[in-house]
Amino acid sequence: MLWAWERPEDLRFIDPAKIGVAYLAGTVTLHGTQADWRPRMQPLRIPQGTRLMAVVRVESGGRAGGSAREAAQLISRASGNAGVSAIQIDYDARLGEREFYRELVRDVRHEIPRAMPLTITALVSWCASDTWISDLPVDAAVPMFFRMGSEKLMRQAELRAAICEGSTGISTDELVRVKLARRVFLFDPEPWTQDDLGAALYEVKRWR
């Protein structure tokens, strides 16, 4: 799966039989008791038949509050986007925001179609040493082995949360070897090119 962030992306060179796209569909910004929705504004070009996962970024500035149901209803909008078969929430919830996040995930699960997979991104520590996400009603969590900051020592940590075992998140500019799961999510800090993808896939295959 290729993460396609908020920028023009032309991914018509991918093989949709092997590669899917997790694209930023919109951002929910929490302002105290208010929740605002900003949809994707940049074009995304993909080949016909590409499996699409809609990613919704949640930003709070560490001050999450108010109605989780309102924010969940905004996130669920992405489930109606053309071709979308799964939803992913990207939220760097702080310690004091965890209960809000629990409620948010429960409400999103209620709002989107029952059969639609729901996933989240996760700090590596959430999957290894502080597994508070273990009981969230999601189909999978993707531990992000990049932009780790103080978590860098956990690159080779054992993932103890079962929901983290099926996916690995890595970035093209931090290809430090980690144990790969069945599904790999790739991030590129620059717009994707065929050369970038080829180089990343070559490296990833060496890790298998």
Residue 140 has pLDDT above 90, yes or no: yes
Q: How far apart are CA 66 and CA 143, in angstroms?
A: 27
pLDDT, residue 31, reads 82
Residue 123 has pLDDT above 90, yes or no: yes
Q: How far apart are CA 130 and CA 21, in angstroms?
A: 29
Give tens-digit pLDDT for 79-115. Answer: 999 999 999 999 999 998 999 999 999 999 999 999 9
DSSP result, 125-187: HHHTT--TTTTSS-SEEEEB-SS-GGGGGGTT-----GGGTTEEEEETT--------SEEEEE
Distant-in-sequence, close-in-space partners of 111: CB < 8 Å, separation ≥ 6: 72, 73, 75, 76, 79
Residue 115: which H helix or E strand, with range? none
Greater pLDDT, 180 or 88:
88
State mean pLDDT over 16-45: 94
Residue 64 has pLDDT above 70, yes or no: no
Could you state, in order of their start, the residue ranges of all structural domains in the chain? 2-207
pLDDT, residue 20, reads 98
Residue 65 has pLDDT above 70, yes or no: no
pLDDT, residue 76, reads 97
Residue 142 has pLDDT above 90, yes or no: yes
Q: Report H helices in 62-146.
A: 68-76, 98-111, 124-127
**How crowded is residue 193: how many other Cβ atoms within 10 Å of its Cβ?**
14
Residue 61 has pLDDT above 80, yes or no: no
Tell me the CATH number for domain 2-207: 3.20.20.80
**Bridge-based pairing state of the strands 140-143 and 118-122:** parallel
Greater pLDDT, 177 or 109:
109
Q: How far apart are CA 34 and CA 172, in angstroms?
A: 36
pLDDT, residue 153, reads 67
Q: How far apart are the first and last CA of the chain?
A: 16
Q: How far apart are CA 95 and CA 131, in angstroms?
A: 12
Phi, psi angles (nearest 5°) of residue 105: -65, -45
Apex 2 CA angle, 36 and 180, nearest 5: 115
Chain center to CA of 57: 8
Average pLDDT, the chain: 93
pTM for the structure as a whole:
0.94
Residue 21 has pLDDT above 80, yes or no: yes
